[in-house]
Amino acid sequence: MLPEVVYSSTVTAVGALVADFREQGLLVWFGENAPEELHEFSILHKVDNHKRAPIVGDIIALNDDHFTVLAVGDVASDNLLNLGHLDLKANGLTETEMPGDVNVEARELPTVKVGDRLQVIAQD
Virtual torsion, Cα 85, 48, 10, 19, nearest 10 deg: 10
Q: Are 12 and 30 in contact (CB under 8 A)?
A: no
Cα 60–chain centre separation: 7
Residue 45 designated active-site? yes
Write down the catalytic residue from 45, 50, 66, 85.
45
Among 17, 21, 40, smallest CA distance to 90 is for 21
Contact 80, 57 (CB under 8 A): no
| Residue 88: strand pairing partners | 27, 102
What is the rounded CA–CA span in Å between residue 93 and residue 104?
Answer: 7
- Catalytic positions, please? 45
